Amino acid sequence: MNSSVMAIILALCEAVRRGTPLLLGTTGEILNEKSGSLNLGVEGTMAVGAITGALLGLSTSNMFLALLGAFVGGMFCGLIYAFLTITLKANQNVTGLAITIFGGGLCMFVGETLKSTGKFPSYTTEFFAEITGGGIPLLKDIPYIGQLLFSYNALVYIAIVIALIVWIYITKTKSGLRMRAAGENPAAADSVGINVDAERYKNIVIGSGIMGLGGVYMALFINNGLWNTDWINGYGWIAVALVIFSNWSSARAIWGSYVFGLLLALKSRMPSLASAFPSVLSWSTAIPTEVFDALPFIVTMLVLIISSMRKNKNTGCPTGLGLNYFREER
C-alpha cells in the first residue's frame, strides 16, 4: 500500500516539476495575447532566457542572478518582437516564428561554442546542492503531504505566485483593464485615451521575461545545468497551446500546466505506476514509449480541435488577437 501511494506521489511530483516551465511560459504568453499579440516565439524566448540565466547563475553560483539573467534575456527577445510587430507593423506570426528560430540558434551558438572550448561553467558543490535540494524546511518532512506539496525548489512556488499576480493584474486592476482593452478593441481603447502601443510593448516585454524564467528552469532544474542541444525540447510550443487550454486565465493555467506536466512525466513514471497498480494499469506496459513521447502533442491537438468547435462565444480570447493596430486606418 505504502509503495503504491508513494508511486502516485512521485509521479505527481514529477508532473509539478515538469509543469513549472510550462506554467511560466503560459503565463508570459497570456500577457502577450491579452494585450493583442499572438507571440509564437515562446520556444526561442525560453531558449535565450535559459542560456543567459544558466550562464550567469553557474558562473556566479547565485540563484537570484540566474533568474535575473533569464528575465533580462527573455525581455530582450520580447523587445525585438515588440519593435518588429508594433513599431514596424511586421506580421505577428512570422515574427514569432523568427524569434523561435533566432532564440534557439543563439542558445545553440553560445552553448556549443562554450562547450567545445571547454569554457561552459559547471556547478560549485554548494550551488548544485542548492539547486537539487530545495523544499520548505520542517513542512517537507511531513509524510506524503510534505513530499507532494513542500519538497520543490523555490522557482516552483515563485511560478505559482507569478501566475496568481498576473491573474489579479489582468482581471482585477485598472491597468489590467487598459491592457485588455488594447487587446480586445485597440481602436476603441485608443479613442478613450489609452496608449495602445505602450500597453502592448509593456506586456510583451514583461511576459517574455516570465517566459525566460521558464527557460532557465529547463536549463538548471530539468537538465541539471549540463549543456545539451535540446534544453527547451518543445515545451515552449506546449505553452502556446496551454494558453487556449486555460482559456487565457493564468489561474487556470496552474492546474493546466500540471496536467500537461503529468503527460510529459508519463514516459518515465508509467512503469512504476503500472507495477504499483497492476490490476488497473498493467495494460500500459505493452505500450511503446514512443506513444508517451507523442502524448502531450496529441492532447495539444485535441485541445485545439475541441476549443475551435466550441459554440460558446464567451471565451477569454481577445478579439484583437493577432491583429496589428494601425492608428491611421481606424
Q: Which residues bind other proteins (CB under 8 A)?
A: 6-7, 10, 14, 112, 115-116, 118, 121-125, 128, 132, 222-224, 226, 228, 230-231, 233, 264-265, 267-272, 275, 285-290, 293
Helix H, strand E, coil C: the string for 63-99 is HHHHHHHHHHHHHHHHHHHHHHHHHCCCCHHHHHHHH
Upper half-sphere CA count for residue 228 (Cβ side, 13 Å): 11
Nearer to other proteins, 134 or 322 (CB): 134
The minimum distance between CB 272 and other proteins, in angstroms, equals: 4
**Min separation Cβ 230 and other proteins, Å:** 5
C-alpha angle 318-323-325 in degrees, rounded to nearest 5: 105
Q: Which is nearer to other proteins, 6 or 251 (CB)?
A: 6
Closer residue to other proteins (CB): 181 or 273: 273
Identify which of residues 67 and 232 has a Cβ nearer to other proteins in the complex: 232
Tell me how far, at minimum, the Cβ of 79 lies from other proteins, in Å: 29
Q: How far is the CB of 249 from other proteins (least distance, A)?
A: 27
Task: Report in angstroms how near the CB of residue 120 gets to other proteins at its nearest.
Answer: 9
- Closest by CA to 244, choosing from 308, 177, 191, 159, is 308
Q: What is the CB-side half-sphere exposure of residue 113 using CA atoms within 13 A?
A: 8
Q: Is 145 helix (H, G, I), strand (E, B) or coil?
A: helix
What torsion do the CA atoms of 33, 37, 40, 44 make, to the nearest 10 degrees?
-100
Q: Nearer Cβ to other proteins, position 175 or 268? A: 268
At 277, which amino acid appears?
F
